[in-house]
């Protein structure tokens, strides 16, 4: 039996007292890139209480290279 691999990884934070995980449209092709991005976000935002990275079925939208977001241009993909 094969297991389905996730298509991308999404960073999420808890940034208030509600305990609710919140994310955005950023999706990364690797867990490592998503973790680096959410660590950077945690350092810039004052109220972050916790962070995590979750698997997503969405296609990756960005790479995280040298501390910068790089859009993935899906329209440039060719077969």
Does 2 reside within a domain?
no
Does 27 reside within a domain?
yes
Average pLDDT over residues 6-26: 94
Number of domains composing the chain: 1
pLDDT tens digits, one per residue of 35-79: 999 999 999 988 999 999 999 999 999 999 999 999 998 545 444
Does 3 reside within a domain?
no
| Predicted TM-score (pTM) of this structure | 0.82
Tokens of 9: 């990884």
* Position with higher pLDDT, 73 vs 9: 9
Structural domain range at position 59: 8-73
Does 1 reside within a domain?
no
3-state secondary structure of 24: coil
Residue 8 has pLDDT above 90, yes or no: yes
């Amino acid at each position: 039996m094969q297991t389905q691999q996730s298509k991308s990884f999404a960073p999420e934070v808890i940034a208030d007292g509600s305990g609710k995980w919140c994310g955005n449209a950023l999706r990364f092709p690797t867990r490592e890139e998503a973790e680096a991005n959410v660590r950077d976000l945690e350092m810039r935002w004052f109220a972050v209480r916790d962070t995590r990275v979750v698997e997503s079925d969405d296609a990756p939208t960005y790479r995280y290279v040298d501390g910068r977001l790089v859009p993935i241009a899906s329209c440039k993909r060719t077969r």
